[in-house]
Structure 1
Amino acid sequence: MTPAELRNLAGNLAQTEGATSVITTHISQVLLTPNYVYKIPKAIQLPYLDFRSLEQRRNYCHQEIKLNRRFTEGVYLDVVPISKLDEQIVMGKGAGTLIDYAIKMKRLPEERLMSNMLENGEVQGEHMVAIADQLVGFHRSAGKVVEPPDLQGMQEDFADLRSAHTVVAELIGPAAARTLEEWVIGGQQLLVKHEKRIQERHQQQFYIEVHGDLHAANIFLLDRPVLFDCIAFNDPFRQADQLNELAFFCMDLDHFGRSDLGDIFLQHYLQQLPCIATEEDQILFLYYKLYRANIRLKVNALKWQQTTDTEEQKTRSEAVVSYYALMQRYCEALGIP
């Protein structure tokens, strides 16, 4: 969908549903109305997804609804066709030409988004207990991953940190950029050292179908936590050691300066569903925190390069600095130079 078509659709939605705003992510265009959210996959191809055909985008929309309904009810509503009729772009099949599809979701109150509540100091230990309870229930019933862990693939994913070299050099300094290479080497060596335990954990069925993108900006804290926007576009991204899932969420809380909340969450989860049995498991948990901070640093570095908006550049640069510091903290704890 072109920018002009998106504006046309937003204008028509505003007439029928009320004021409509547009948000663009790296794989979707999102329309926000007072009561609903419409998420439209972009017609793009990336190394980990292919949405170029109308059929591929339709299938993805249905897959996203199916996967996210595992966590919540009444939020992911339907797949809605988008049509073009007499130069007008409208939601619904109508009499026009079908040009795209959207995922229709119920809009939830922004003030209850966990990331916003963390910024306002409103998240409490009871929220962590509720999230842990919900995640335990999901993980207990999750499908087991048959394919064994791909150590080389894990090393290559971590080594992609090198792609942030130029941005880190500019925002933090040349010495910091050189340190990235030391972290890549140290991370690879750590995986090799603990490969046997990684494979054992797979054999012990700790590798399951997880949410895959569990962080505070993907959780609404209502009477019952609403976990949303799981990884739906790439199955391997959603197949991991459950420690990896827990580490992502705890890393995010570390980033917000609320490690105390992460401790409450982890303790309550492990009381019900133990998955840390050895000292090596503790090391792997910390490694997964490092890996997830690595990803967040890279994502923000890329977005800093791509944006021309001064305010967003400032936000992204601060995030790069913050995630670099978090990686440094984890590397020191792991004994990586």
Structure 2
Amino acid sequence: MEEKDVHDIAWRGLYANDFIHGSLEETHISWVILAKGFAFKIKKPVRLSFLDFSTLALRKKLCEKELMLNRRFSNIYLDVLPVRKVQGQWIIGGPSDMHTVDYCVVMKRMATAKRLDKLLQKNAVSVVSLKTLAADIALFHNNAQQTFRSFSIDTGSSIFNDIESVSEFARDALGIRYHEIIRESIEWSDAFLTRHQGRLQQRIDSGMQRDVHGDLHSGNIFLYTKPVLFDCIEFNDVYRQIDVLYEVAFLCMDLERFNQWQLADVFLTEYVKRFSAFQQPEDYSLFIYFKSLRANIRAKVHAEQCRQTHDTHEQQYHRDEAAKYLKLMAKYVARKLAYAHHD
């Protein structure tokens, strides 16, 4: 298979036997087949509150959109190819007279060991590499299209306050203190958004809301000499067209989740040298809020996954991760409360 290029795959096709030494990764919305030299991402035929992959036409359209959007900052995205089935045999690509049952995004396969989250687990991330990453992201943000969707306090509150949906889980699985963290953080968030809604709208008006990546965490970055970003959000423009500080807050929160507070500072310092994302002193308060919101969402995701799985080991993993993110959210809230007189 290593001798094939993407044009050969499109013409001749890859058959099930070609993947005999490959592996499969699965999320709640996609399957990714990892083969030698290539990765093939297929969207699950699902419809959720925030995305719709329910028809073949929609999946094709969103595969093409994923290819286009990710090519803004990555050269690993190669093509969109049909998935076909002939006489019980699954085929990617191949002659056009075969029946198409789905579509996949074709990417160059990268070394999993080079993924930023894997390197963070081994404490193997250098200051130099984080500075290079910050410079690349700053350049991308500088050139990203500005968007001007108005700030809605109701929408902002509902996004943060949805953590209440796992409040009972937190109390029963983690303890009463985690239940209190959720209640206290919601009260703080409501007051914060009321106080700062004017500044949030000002940042939109000044061009700080842009069409960026939308899901910029350590699992979506390969840390080669030149970093590779991948898997931006294509299925919902609202999730991708965000304040640039909300974007970098995700990565900084993620670094701090790995207890790499110094690396988070290195990244942010280098980023702001190259892109003036902080325009007023109040923006630093917004940045801490954005980090708390990112931790909030990650905590909720792990809590939901813990409730859905029946595997004991997976349950424990997601339970532990939910607790870590809730504690990190509480730390951000406490820090913001300590400096509330600066708002």
Q: TM-score, normalised by structure 2?
A: 0.91
Which of the residues 112, 127, 130 maps onto 1:128?
Answer: 130
Which region of structure 1 is more displaced relative to structure 2, 120-129 or 82-91? 82-91
In the other structure, the counterpart of 1:90 is 91
**Deviation of residue 297 (structure 1)?**
0.2
Q: Name the residue aligned to 1:25.
A: 27
Distance in 2 of aligned mates of 1:297 and 1:201: 27
Q: How does 1:135-214 map to 2 (within 5 A)?
A: 135-214=137-216
In 2: Cα distance, 1:324 partner to 1:332 partner: 12
SS of structure 2 residue aligned to 1:99 = strand
SS in 1 for 2:129: helix
Q: Who is 2:110 aligned against? A: 108
Q: In structure 2, what residue type is equivalent to 1:83? A: R
Deviation at 1:250, TM superposition (A): 0.4
**Matched AA of 2:88:** E
Q: Which amino acid aligns with 2:100?
A: L
Aligned residues: 325
User: How many angstroms apart in 2 are the aligned matches of 1:310 and 1:89?
Assistant: 33
1:289 alignment partner in structure 2 = 291
Q: 2:299·2:321 contact (CA, 8 Å) conserved in 1? A: yes
SS of 1:252's partner is helix
Distance apart, 1:36 and its partner CA:
1.2
Instruction: Compute the displacement of 1:211 (Å).
Output: 0.7
How much does 1:13 deviate?
A: 4.7
**Distance in 2 (alpha carbons) for counterparts of 1:13 and 1:292:** 40
Identical-residue share of aligned pairs (%)? 35
Q: Which amino acid aligns with 2:26?
A: T
Q: Distance in 2 between matches of 1:42 and 1:93?
A: 21
Alignment match, 1:318:
320
Q: Distance in 1 between matches of 2:279 and 2:16?
A: 54
Specify the SS of the correspondent of 2:224.
coil
Three-state SS of the structure 1 residue aligned to 2:148 is coil
Per-residue CA shift, 1:79-136, capped at 9, x if unaligned? 1101111122211243432110111111101111111111111101111111111111
Q: Pick from 15, 18, 22 the counterpart of residue 17 of structure 2.
A: 15
Alignment of 1:237 with 2:236, yes or no, is no
Counterpart residue number, 1:4:
none
Counterpart-to-counterpart distance in 2, 1:23 and 1:293: 24
Please give the secondary structure, in 2, of the residue aligned with 1:145. Answer: coil
Whole-Å separation in 2 of the counterparts to 1:331 and 1:113 = 30
1:168-207 deviations in Å (ceiling 9; x for gaps): 1122213421331221121011011011111111111111
Q: Once the 2 structures are TM-superposed, how far is the Cα of residue 243 of structure 1 from its aligned partner? A: 0.8
Question: What CA distance in whole angstroms lies between the structure 1 residues aligned with 2:281 and 2:197?
Answer: 14
Question: Which residue of the partner structure matches residue 76 of structure 1?
Answer: 77
Counterpart of 2:134, as a letter, is A
Matching residue's letter, 1:255: R
Contact 1:171/1:321 (8 A) holds in 2: no
The whole-number CA distance in structure 1 between the counterparts of 2:285 and 2:329 is 14
Q: Deviations over 1:257-276 (max 9, x none)?
A: 00100100100111111121
2:307 alignment counterpart: 305
Q: Distance in 1 between matches of 2:39 and 2:312?
A: 27
1:111 is matched by which residue type in structure 2? A
Q: Is the 8 A contact 2:139 2:274 kept in 1?
A: no
* SS in structure 2 of the partner of residue 194 of structure 1: helix
Unaligned runs of 5+ in 2: 1-13
- Whole-Å separation in 2 of the counterparts to 1:125 and 1:35: 30
- Normalising by structure 1, we get a TM-score of 0.93
Report the equivalent of 1:3: none
Aligned mates of 1:314, 1:175 — CA distance in 2: 18
CA RMSD of superposed structures (Å): 1.5
| Contact in 1 for aligned 2:40/2:105 (Cα 8 Å) | yes
Q: Is the Cα–Cα contact under 8 Å of residues 14 and 33 in structure 1 kept in the other structure?
A: no
| Aligned mates of 1:34, 1:312 — CA distance in 2 | 28
Q: Give the CA deviation at 1:308.
A: 1.6
- Equivalent position of 2:217 in the other structure: 215
